[in-house]
Structure 1
Amino acid sequence: MSGGHGRAAQADPLDGDVAEALALANGDRDRDRDRNRDRDRDREASRADGTRATDAAFDGPADGTVGDPSDSGHRAGDRQAAPPGARSAPDTPHGAPAPQDGTGHREGTAWSAARRAAAQAGRSAAEHRARVARAAQEQSSRTARAGTVGTVGGAASLPVPEAVAETRHPRTEREGATGASDALAPVPVDENQLPLPGLPFTAPAPPPPPPVAPPVAPAAAPPAESTPAGTVPPGATRTPLDRALGLVLAAPLTALTDLPSFDTSAMDGWVVAGPGPWDVRGAGILAGHDLSMRLADGEAAAIATGARIPPDTTAVIRSEHGHLDDKGRLHPLRDVAHGQDIRPRGQECRSGDLLLPAGGIVTPAVLGLAAAAGYDELVVVPRLRVEVLVLGDELLTSGRPRDGLIRDALGPMLPHWLRALGVEVTAVRRLGDDAKALLKAVRKSTADLVVTTGGTASGPVDHVHPTLSAVGAELLVDGVTVRPGHPMLLARLKEGQHLVGLPGNPLAAVSGLLTLAEPLLRELSGRAAAHPEPYSAPLHTPVHGHPRDTRLVPVVVRQDEESGHDWAVPLRYNGPAMLRGIAAADALAVVPPGGATEGQEVEILDLPWSWGPR
């Protein structure tokens, strides 16, 4: 990068305005801080001693049962307000003004309202993706009918895939330049390895997509009825079975054939015709072999499980339920019912039956069902793309903490946690406390969601808010009344693209992930219908509460042997910087302001690895 001389050197189209934009945003914030410093000092001094002591218990050093060092990014001090220039969310139910305490201190959005705001943002982004995909689909249809390469919005002639890309990611004058050096170019390394501090990291590149066939005239297209899964909805894609695990069905799964598609034997034994005893033929019937045998009354043949049943037969006698005499005749050892141990054609489903509705998650069992029903590929919602930006000069990627440096816990943890939410993590970039690098990374990202760690407060090297101001982002949630995780935020970078700013403390980051990122990704990916319903459980022991904020406390859910009811057992190590409790937990308990008593029912947030039947 060209540093402060970006305009003259022209090494990168973004360098020339990065410093200017950040200086403007930081300058506004600094002037605002200076103007209000005395007033804020007076307000803080006027706070009641009891309230200060309570806040310290949650945000300052403690014994680990209640709090830990500050819950505000990598540094102490909750941020007071967004810097001038950042756009606030409209005054809607999900973006209502934050409540204030008696001193005028901004508290942030209520926890439940923040989750609703994130879910609404996901729904809006999903609707935008569908509109873009529908427009591209209509453009492709018009191009195919014309038999020529089409254009988008009157722009210069482009091949259809490029036209779609132009619709989805409009280029600005700055972003459109080519040949510029890029100091943030990711260094490919093994997925389980992190590079040295300051170097970006990206997961191994996925295999290139197959080439797109050129448009063809309508007459050459296959008829609709010959397409197994019907028309692909806008924004969906066909994916081979071996790559569909964890994705969401974008279209109903209907049977392409009867299951089973012919009468089959449910057991090893003999297939018989008419009343017994039966003469046993020498040749048996095996699964997967062509059947030309027909049995007359009084005849039987050995048969294997899954083998096709000859026409006009009576039943299958299991091996343990029949006996051969000295003449080789078969005698039953118990009564024989007509049709016993025969799986008739269509027993499980008939061709055209609905097997699963759209919106279900593709599990291993779904893959097996789809294969049995005749599918080679499924119509699914494409996996969302997420980019993680790890901030902080104090982070080590290997070895023990030393000399004021600490190990980065979020870089190794967040990508896998996000994958558990069903997304593709396209890159993990380590940017340190470089404001210019952060602004450039946010501007150039094409991911559906950008996740940052740390830097969300208002300290001297907390650059997330100035960056959002510089790119003209719309703040949807700016601080949440929850502990840990108070300084988390959610912003709309542009239509269909969002940024979730997580605090730098590990447990606070988990809180932000489940409060903001999970609801947004759930709605955007179409996983809402398959998500487990919220539930509650009584607390096994009381939990102290914050006077104003919700608390998220790691718990294990255990069944009481006598009553059979589930209990939420709070775990001790639950400070904002601690992972010992969450590593042993399978859920988070939502503790209301003021705390909860033993036996009180509280909402339970299951962690991704505990979703599903216990």
Structure 2
Amino acid sequence: MKSWFDAFAIAREVAAPLPGQTIPVAEAGGQVLASPIICVRPVPAFDNAAMDGFATCGPGPWTVTGLLLAGGFTALPSLSPGEAIEIATGAPVPVGTTAVLPYEDATVAGRRVSGVLGERTHVRRAGETLAAGALVSPAGRIVTATLAGATVQAGVDVVTTVRPPTVTLLVTGDEVISDGVPGPGQVRDTFTGLVTALTLRAGGVLRERRHQKDDPVSLAAALDDTDAEVVVVSGSSSAGAADHLHTVLTDRGATWHVRGVACRPGHPQALAELPGGRWVVSLPGNPFAGLIAGLTLLEPLLETMAGRPCHPLPTAAVTGSTTLMRGGVRIVPVVHSPQGTRIAADRGSAGLHAVALADALAVLPDDWTPGTPARLLAIP
């Protein structure tokens, strides 16, 4: 059995980022750049007005010769000394423009305009923000909506990103139902939503979800039938009569990187690698314990495969009381308040109610004392 800290580190380090793919910028949101983005088209692409007003040439007063709107012309006009043209923000400035006189600084009388030009010309020159050939973004950054916009602005239509890892979820248990009111001995599936959220947050793609009966033959067939890079199995993780996953994986020559973690809840979690390079993450069947396993093994594994940067977990001084785990860690929901971070009510490993109302999960080692710092896990 691994310590929680070792298991988390293994999940972060055991895999490698997937190969790069070249895709349109519009499809790259949330993915990690595998190659840098280089500016193709200077920003701005042309000299343009930074204010609504009058493009002027030379000292005033000036004679207004027309109106120029962004995109509303067929040929760019030119100005001679003493001339001006009314102009909208973003419109290309005419050839010969000295400065733009903002409306608020202008006095207009018929076709004559006068005013005092300030120190700023209110003209954005081509390439002053970013020149062609300049670096838009280095590799390794997540493509946000803002970065996507900056990329398009720089004239780049396609980017190379780390291919997102694909995930198949096998929800095991004859007692599990997907919808409707549970009958005697039945429970609703809570794992599909949790695994979907964790996969998306980590940069992966949940390709499919299947309900899997408690049968070793069909479980083995389901593992063989998917080509997803990561297979997540909820339930079937312990040593009970209906828990077949470990035997099935061992029979297939799987390499065990984590097989049990010294934590409460969530100790019967596991991470294995099948021959050929596919990964299997085993989550305990109790919802809270399964969530902790997802945060411990699944999310860091997917983040690494998606090429996401590795950041230390945040910490906070935690107050309150709980029963610690000798030789391991206790993971508890906590809430933030002006008075600090405190432990929320402990309602056991089966329910998600306390977690749903918490702000984070705190990882408390067996030597933790109230008021000392603890690592925090973000709740999906």
Q: Answer yes or no: same fold by TM over 0.5.
A: yes
* Counterpart check, 1:122 vs 2:18: no
Which runs of structure 2 are paired with 1:103-118 in the superposition (5 Å)? 108-118=1-11
Q: Tell me the TM-score normalised to structure 2 length.
A: 0.94
| Number of the residue aligned with 1:553 | 332
Distance 1:448 1:274 in 2: 66
Question: Are the counterparts in 2 of residues 419 and 425 from structure 1 also a CA contact under 8 Å?
Answer: yes
AA matched with 2:275 = K
Check the 8 A contact 2:199/2:302 in 1, yes or no: no
Does structure 1 retain, via aligned residues, the 8 Å contact 2:198–2:299?
A: no
Instruction: Give per-residue Cα distances to partners, 1:331-369, cap 9 Å, x unaligned.
Output: 22xx42355221111121111111111111111111111
> Residues 482-514 of structure 1, C-alpha deviation per residue, up to 9 Å, x if partnerless?
111000001111242110100001111111111
**Are 1:383 and 1:525, in contact at CA under 8 Å, matched by a contact in 2?**
yes
Q: Which residue type is aligned with residue 83 of structure 2? A: E
CA distance in 1, matches of 2:379, 2:13: 21
CA distance in 1, matches of 2:372, 2:95: 64
| Structure 2 residue 228 is matched with structure 1 residue 454 | no
Paired with 2:321 and 2:21, the residues of 1 have a C-alpha distance of 49
1:180-226 residue CA offsets vs partner (Å, 9 max, x unmatched)? xxxxxxxxxxxxxxxxxxxxxxxxxxxxxxxxxxxxxxxxxxxxxxx
State the match for 1:323 in structure 2: 107
In 2, the alpha carbon distance for the partners of 1:584 and 1:291 equals 61
2:315 is matched with 536
Report the more deviating stretch, 407-416 or 247-256: 407-416
- What's the CA shift for 1:274? 1.1
1:366 is paired with a residue whose SS is helix
Instruction: Find the counterpart in structure 2 of residue 242 from structure 1.
Output: 26
Distance 1:533 1:275, change over 3 A: farther
Query: Given the superposition, is the C-alpha separation of residues 351 and 362 from structure 1 closer, same or farther in structure 2, using an over 3 Å criterion?
Result: same
Which amino acid in the other structure matches residue 110 of structure 1?
Answer: S
Structure 1: distance between partners of 2:103 and 2:338: 44
Q: Which residue type is aligned with residue 304 of structure 1? A: A
Partner Cα separation in structure 1 for residue 4 and residue 268 of structure 2:
12
Partner of 1:354: 135
Distance apart, 1:606 and its partner CA: 2.4
- Mapped to 2, the partners of 1:487 and 1:511 lie a distance apart of 11
Equivalent position SS for 1:345: coil
- 2:269 aligns with 488
Confirm or deny: 8 A CA contact 2:49 2:93 kept in the other structure.
yes
- Out of 351, 368, 373, the residue aligned to residue 578 of structure 1 is 351
The one-letter code matched in structure 2 to 1:534 is L
- Distance change (3 Å), C-alpha of 1:559 and 1:497: farther
Residue ranges of structure 2 left out of the alignment (5+ in a row): none
Residues 314/338 of structure 1: CA separation in 2 closer, same or farther (3 Å cut): farther
Q: Describe the superposition over 1:13-53 as per-residue Cα deviations: whole angstroms up to 9, x where unpaired.
A: xxxxxxxxxxxxxxxxxxxxxxxxxxxxxxxxxxxxxxxxx
Paired position in structure 2 for 1:284: 67
Unaligned runs of 5+ in 1: 1-107, 130-234, 561-566, 609-614
Asked whether the 8 Å contact 2:140–2:307 carries over to 1, the reply is yes
Provide the secondary structure at the position in 1 that maps to 2:132: coil
Q: Provide the rounded CA distance (Å) in 1 between the counterparts of 2:321 and 2:38.
A: 50
Distance in 1 separating the partners of 2:60 and 2:347: 73
Q: Which amino acid aligns with 2:378?
A: D
Which residue in 2 is equivalent to 1:418? Answer: 199
Which residue identity does 1:589 align to in structure 2? A
Task: Write the distance in 1 (CA, Å) between the matches of 2:207 and 2:372.
Answer: 42
- Separation in 2 of the partners of 1:348 and 1:445? 48
Deviation per CA, 1:216-251: give whole Å up to 9, x if none.
Answer: xxxxxxxxxxxxxxxxxxx21111222211111111
More strand by share: 2
Matches within 5 A, 1:34-433: 108-123=1-16, 126=17, 235-281=19-65, 283-288=66-71, 289-325=73-109, 327-332=110-115, 335-337=116-118, 339-433=120-214
Equivalent position SS for 1:308: coil
Structure 1 equivalent of residue 291 of structure 2: 510
1:605 counterpart residue number: 377
Kindly indicate whether the alpha-carbon contact (under 8 Å) linking 1:316 and 1:341 is maintained by their aligned counterparts in 2.
Answer: yes
Query: Partners of 1:427 and 1:546 in 2: how far apart?
Result: 36
Q: Distance in 1 between matches of 2:379 and 2:50?
A: 41
CA contact (8 A) 2:202 2:306 kept: no
Contact in 2 for aligned 1:443/1:471 (Cα 8 Å): no
Return closer, same or farther for 1:290/1:496 CA change in 2, 3 Å cut-off: farther
Q: What CA distance in whole angstroms lies between the structure 2 residues aligned with 1:428 and 1:320?
A: 61
State the alpha-carbon separation in 2 of the partners of residues 491 and 253 from structure 1: 36
Aligned partner of 1:593 among 346, 353, 366: 366
Secondary structure in structure 2 of the residue aligned to 1:539? strand
SS at the partner of 1:482?
strand
The answer to whether the 8 A contact 1:254-1:354 is kept is yes
Structure 1 483/453 Cα, relative in aligned 2: closer, same or farther at 3 Å?
same
User: Deviations along 1:361-407, whole A, 9 cap, x unmatched?
Assistant: 11111111111111222211122111111111111222333312111
CA deviation string 1:38-91 (max 9, x = no partner): xxxxxxxxxxxxxxxxxxxxxxxxxxxxxxxxxxxxxxxxxxxxxxxxxxxxxx
Cross-structure match for 1:29: none
CA shift, 1:291, in A, is: 4.2
Letter in 2 for 1:328: R
TM-score (norm: length of structure 1): 0.59
| Whole-angstrom CA distance in 1 between matches of 2:312 and 2:99 | 46
The Cα of 1:551 is off from its aligned counterpart by 1.8
Aligned alpha-carbon RMSD (Å): 1.9
Give percent identity, aligned residues only. Answer: 35
Match of 1:473 in 2: 254
Q: Which amino acid aligns with 1:331?
A: S
State the secondary structure of the residue aligned to 1:317: strand
Structure 2 residue identity aligned to 1:548: G
SS of 2:101's equivalent? strand
Q: Is the 8 A contact 1:573 1:580 kept in 2?
A: no
Q: Is the 1:568–1:589 contact (alpha carbons within 8 Å) kept by the matching residues of 2? A: no
For residues 544 and 318 of structure 1, the distance between their equivalents in structure 2, rounded to whole angstroms, comes to: 68
Sort the Cα spacing of 1:533 and 1:365 in 2 relative to 1 into closer, same or farther, 3 A.
Answer: farther
Task: Give the residue type in structure 2 aligned to 1:587.
Answer: A
Amino acid at match of 1:349: L
